[in-house]
C-alpha cells in the first residue's frame, strides 16, 4: 500500500510556489527581529517602510508588527510543536490569533481569528486535517453563522494511487446575502525525488499547472502556467534559484514582461540575512525595489 501524500490537496502547487520570486518579492524597506525568549516562547518585531509613490491614490502605509508564539511541549516530529498559540498586532489595528495542535496522532485542528479593530471581526476559521494510511483530507469552516445562514465550507481530499502519483479534489460551498455558490476543483500531483508537478482545474475554467525540478544541489528550476478558459487569458512564469554557500539568487520572468531578481546573503552567519530584490514591469513601465534585514536569535 502506498503511503499517504506529503501534503493536502490545497498545497499541491506549493513546491513550485516556494521557488518562484513572485511569492517572496517585496518593495520598500523591511526589518525583522525574532528571538526565542524561552524554550517555549518566541517573539518577533517587524517594520515595513513602504516606498513613496505619488501616483498611487491609496498608497501602502508603513507598518510595525509585533507577534508572539507559544510552542507546546509535545513534539510529534522533529521541528514540530503541539500545541502552538500565536498572536499578531500591527499599527493599522489588525489583529490575528490562532491555536493549533494534534487532537490525535492522525487528526490535527486549528482555530484562527482575525479582526481590524476591537469590534470589527473579519474572519473566524476552523480547520481539521486528517492523515490516513494512504490519503489526506481537510475541512475548513470560515465565518459560519447558523443564525443567518452564511459561511464558507471547504472540503478537500487527496489520495495516493502510486508512490509518485496522487489524485484528489476540493469542493467549496459558500452561502451569503448574494446567494449560494459551489465550486468543485479536481487535480493531482506527480512527484519524484527531484521533480514535482501539480495540476488543478476548477468548474469556473481556471486551470493551473506548476512544475519544479532540482537540477543539482545548488540549482532548481520552476514554472507556473495559469489559464482562464472562460476568458481566454493565460499567464506563464518561469524562475530559477541558485544557491551558493552563504547566499542564494532568485530570478523570474513571466509572459506579462515582468522580470525580477532577489539576492539573499548571510552577513554574520545564518542568523543574520540581507535581502535585495527588484522587479521591472516592461508592459506598464513600472519598477520596484526592496531591501530587507532578518535577524534570528
Pairing label, strands 107-115, 41-49: unpaired
Instruction: Give the list of residues 6+ apart from residue 56 with CB closer than 8 angstroms, or none.
Output: none
**Per-residue pLDDT at 164:** 94
The DSSP code for 269 is S
* Closest by Cα among 187, 180, 219 to 202: 187
**Per-residue pLDDT at 275:** 95
**Per-residue pLDDT at 198:** 97
**Per-residue pLDDT at 203:** 87
**Per-residue pLDDT at 24:** 81
Contact between 113 and 124 (Cβ < 8 Å) = yes
Per-residue confidence in pLDDT tens, the chain, 297 aa? 456 677 899 999 999 999 998 778 888 999 999 999 998 999 999 999 988 776 666 777 889 999 999 999 888 778 788 999 999 999 988 999 999 999 999 999 999 999 986 667 788 999 999 999 999 999 999 998 888 888 999 999 999 999 999 999 999 999 877 767 888 999 999 999 999 999 999 988 999 999 999 999 999 999 999 999 999 999 999 999 999 999 999 999 999 999 999 999 999 888 999 999 999 999 888 888 999 999 998
What residue ranges in the chain does DSSP mark as E strands? 28-36, 41-49, 63-74, 82-90, 95-102, 107-115, 121-131, 135-145, 150-160, 165-176, 179-191, 195-202, 206-214, 219-228, 233-243, 247-254, 258-266, 272-281, 286-296
Contact between 202 and 185 (Cβ < 8 Å) = yes
**Per-residue pLDDT at 149:** 82
Residue entry with cell 476568458? 231
C-alpha cell at 226: 495559469
**Per-residue pLDDT at 83:** 94
Amino acid at each position: 500500500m502506498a503511503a499517504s501524500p506529503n501534503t493536502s490537496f490545497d498545497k499541491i502547487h506549493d513546491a513550485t510556489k516556494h521557488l518562484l520570486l513572485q511569492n517572496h518579492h517585496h518593495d520598500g524597506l523591511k526589518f525583522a527581529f525574532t528571538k526565542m525568549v524561552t524554550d517555549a516562547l518566541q517573539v518577533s518585531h517587524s517594520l515595513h517602510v513602504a516606498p513613496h509613490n505619488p501616483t498611487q491614490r491609496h498608497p501602502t502605509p508603513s507598518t510595525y508588527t509585533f507577534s508572539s508564539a507559544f510552542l507546546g511541549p509535545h513534539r510529534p516530529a522533529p521541528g514540530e510543536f503541539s500545541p502552538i498559540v500565536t498572536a499578531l498586532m500591527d499599527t493599522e489595528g489588525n489583529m490575528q490569533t490562532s491555536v493549533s495542535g494534534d487532537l490525535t496522532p492522525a487528526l490535527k485542528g486549528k482555530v484562527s481569528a482575525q479582526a481590524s479593530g476591537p469590534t470589527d471581526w473579519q474572519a473566524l476559521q476552523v480547520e481539521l486535517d486528517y492523515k490516513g494510511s494512504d490519503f489526506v483530507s481537510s475541512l475548513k469552516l470560515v465565518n459560519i453563522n447558523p443564525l443567518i445562514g452564511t459561511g464558507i465550507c471547504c472540503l478537500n481530499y487527496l489520495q495516493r494511487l502510486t508512490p509518485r502519483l496522487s489524485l484528489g479534489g476540493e469542493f467549496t460551498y459558500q452561502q451569503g446575502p448574494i446567494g449560494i455558490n459551489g465550486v468543485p476543483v479536481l487535480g493531482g500531483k506527480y512527484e519524484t525525488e527531484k521533480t514535482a508537478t501539480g495540476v488543478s482545474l476548477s468548474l469556473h475554467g481556471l486551470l493551473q499547472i506548476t512544475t519544479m525540478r532540482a537540477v543539482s544541489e545548488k540549482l532548481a528550476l520552476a514554472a507556473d502556467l495559469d489559464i482562464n478558459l472562460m476568458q481566454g487569458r493565460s499567464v506563464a512564469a518561469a524562475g530559477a534559484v541558485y544557491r551558493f554557500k552563504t547566499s542564494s539568487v532568485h530570478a523570474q520572468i513571466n509572459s506579462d514582461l515582468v522580470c525580477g531578481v532577489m539576492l539573499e546573503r548571510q552577513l554574520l552567519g545564518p542568523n543574520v540575512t540581507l535581502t535585495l530584490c527588484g522587479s521591472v514591469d516592461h508592459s506598464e513601465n513600472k519598477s520596484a525595489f526592496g531591501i530587507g534585514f532578518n535577524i534570528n536569535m
